[in-house]
Amino acid sequence: MKKTPRIAIIGAGMGGLATAAALHRFGIQAQVYEQADRFARVGAGIQMSPNAMKALRGLGLEEQVRRTAFQPQTWNNRDWDTGAVRFELPLGQKAEDQFGAPYLQMHRGDLHSALLSAVPKQQISLGRKFLDVQTDAAGSKLSFTDGTTVEADLIIGADGVHSRVRELLLGPEKPTATGRVAYRATFAASLLSHPIGECTKWWGEDRHIVIYYVTSAKDEVYFVTSLPDGVWVDESWSAKGDMAVVRDAFAGFHDEVSDVLRACPQVHRWAILLREPLERWHREGLVLLGDAAHPMTPYMAQGAAMAIEDGITLARALDHAPDIEHALSIFQTARKARTAQVQNISQANTWMREETDPTWCYGFDPWTEPLDI
Ligand SMILES: Cc1cc2nc3c(=O)[nH]c(=O)nc-3n(C[C@H](O)[C@H](O)[C@H](O)COP(=O)(O)OP(=O)(O)OC[C@H]3O[C@@H](n4cnc5c(N)ncnc54)[C@H](O)[C@@H]3O)c2cc1C
């Protein structure tokens, strides 16, 4: 890109920070606007598969993440009651050799902190909720709810599943509630009466629960569920749930599950929402990425991975292309099919239920994937 564009990224989540960090590596400056006043360490785990780890490696974050994260030797898929193994995916060194990077499990807050450390502090503006944009030949004028404005040549909507930027691009349209909720919690492993598997998905008929360690010391445990619930549609990371409801919903599940749920002191809940794959992700000077472009059910553990891959790809396109519009078109072409495939498989909830070859997903490297320039 010849002229240095003024870039505004809306949202300092996984996708927004990855984009800013990748642009920074190319010497392109961007300002990130985040609605929150500060970053809280929300109680959740997150899995970073080898494709995501390759993205983080290119940002210089692999060693930092390895230090705190847990590297499971295996991912087990088991029947809810008997515990019979349906499919076991070897991880550890085997996966590292096979896919070119490790498969790691970590606290979401640790991943967020790592991404944050790769963006210069002065490029992040907190307490700035993006509201609107006015565009003319000179560029775009963004306004925020605190009454402030800024000018930009490119707005990157990395503002999550309820994206305001997406609304401006496509008009009002609510995400679809799936009629299912997720309960999730992290808590001290010392509360358990027995050790647990390193990473296990317990498959029930109409519900499941995934349980794993999130620290290298194995001292913190995480679980996330998916349960039918036609009523709850609010999507908030901070909504509290009731552990009695969760224990009841998983009554009869294997002893390992009961033990985890018995030990867990408190839980959050969150409505699982989705949107269909999108035809067009950009217009002049405005583009979507991450959950704003392709929110998905969490059943492949790939939402953040896709957002981070998007960020790397968009930064590469902006670095290579002669102008912003070319870059946005290159970016969309590079990302549409892959993210739609992940959205569709995630929605079907079939990933790893039976024998699955994940090479197409985990073998991917967003830094070297050819771009159509
Ligand atoms: C329970 C659960 C488990 C998951 N597990 C995994 C997993 O194991 N692996 C994985 O890869 N993915 C996982 N995901 C998916 C992953 O969390 C999301 O896909 C990912 O966070 C999307 O990143 P994002 O940057 O697009 O959006 P977000 O991370 O949601 O970030 C959006 C940011 O934009 C800000 N924002 C919103 N509106 C505005 C505005 N108007 N102005 C300014 N700022 C704004 C928000 O405050 C937020 O900081 C999971 C999701 C859930 C809910």
Q: What span, in angstroms and rounded, lies between the C-alpha atoms of 361 and 340?
A: 12
Distance CA 227, CA 219 (A): 27
Ligand 1 atom showing the smallest separation from residue 164 Cα: 41
> Do the beta carbons of residue 31 and residue 79 sit within 8 Å?
no
Pocket-testing residue among 291, 361, 364, ligand 1, by greatest number of atoms within 8 A of Cβ: 291
Residue 295 alpha carbon, nearest atom of ligand 1: 19
CA diameter of the chain = 65
What global pTM score does this model have? 0.96
Would 267 be classed as within a structural domain?
Answer: no
Q: Residue 332: inside a domain, yes or no?
A: yes
What gap in Å lies between CA 230 and CA 7, rounded to an integer?
Answer: 40
Number of domains in the chain: 1
In a domain, 199, yes or no: no
Q: What is the pLDDT of residue 275?
A: 85
Backbone angles phi, psi at 283, to 5 degrees: -140, -175
Q: What is the DSSP letter of 353?
A: T
Ligand 1 mutation target, pool 159, 166, 275, most atoms within 8 A of CB: 159
Could you tell me if residue 306 is inside a domain? yes
Q: Does residue 12 sit within a domain?
A: yes
Q: What CATH number is attached to the domain comprising 79? A: 3.50.50.60
Residue 340 falls inside a structural domain? yes
For the question of residue 212 being annotated catalytic, the response is yes
CA atoms of 299 and 346, how far apart (whole Å): 5
- Name the closest-CA residue to atom 7, ligand 1: 301
Half-sphere exposure of 294 (CA within 13 A, CB side): 32
pLDDT at residue number 68? 95
pLDDT tens string for the chain (373 positions)? 656 899 999 999 999 999 999 999 999 999 999 999 999 888 799 999 999 999 999 999 999 999 999 999 999 999 999 999 999 999 999 999 999 999 999 999 999 999 999 999 999 999 999 999 998 888 899 999 999 999 999 999 999 999 999 999 999 988 888 889 999 999 999 999 999 999 999 999 999 999 999 999 999 999 999 999 866 555 565 688 999 999 999 999 999 999 999 999 999 998 888 888 899 999 989 999 999 999 999 999 999 999 999 999 999 999 999 999 999 999 999 999 999 999 999 999 999 999 999 999 999 999 999 998 7
Query: Which residue puts its alpha carbon closest to atom 41 of ligand 1?
Result: 130
- Phi then psi for 90, rounded to 5 degrees? -65, 135
Q: What residues flank ligand 1, with Cβ below 6 Å?
A: 10-16, 33-36, 44, 46-47, 129-130, 158-160, 164, 182, 184, 224, 270, 290-292, 298, 301-305, 307
Domain that holds residue 46: 7-174+275-362
Total Cβ atoms within 10 A of residue 322: 10
Q: How far is the CA of 99 from the centre of ligand 1 (A)?
A: 25
Q: Is residue 190 part of a domain?
A: no
Q: What residues contact residue 232 under an 8 Å CB cut-off, 6+ apart?
A: 181, 269, 271
Q: Which alpha helices (H) appear in 202-323, and where do they start and end?
A: 243-249, 255-263, 303-320
Residue 63 lies in a domain: yes
Q: Which of 309, 362, 366 shows the shortest CA–CA distance to 102?
A: 362
